[in-house]
Amino acid sequence: MNFTPASIFAQILFGAVGLAAFVYGKKQVVLRPLVLGVILMVYPFFIAESWLLYLIGVILTLALFFPRQ
Cα 60 to chain centroid, rounded: 6
Alpha helices in 1-68 (DSSP H): 5-28, 31-42, 50-65
Cβ atoms of residues 14 and 35 within 8 Å: no
Q: Do the beta carbons of residue 34 and residue 22 sit within 8 Å?
A: yes
Per residue of the chain (69 residues), what is the pLDDT tens digit?
668 899 999 999 999 999 999 999 999 999 999 999 999 999 999 998 999 999 999 999 999 998 766
**Domain residue spans of the chain:** 5-63
What is the predicted pLDDT for the residue at 23?
A: 97
The single-letter code of the amino acid at 11 is: Q
pTM above 0.85, yes or no: yes
User: Residue 48: what pLDDT?
Assistant: 87
Count the neighbouring beta carbons within 10 Å of the beta carbon of residue 10.
Answer: 22
Contact call for residues 60 and 33 (beta carbons, < 8 A): no
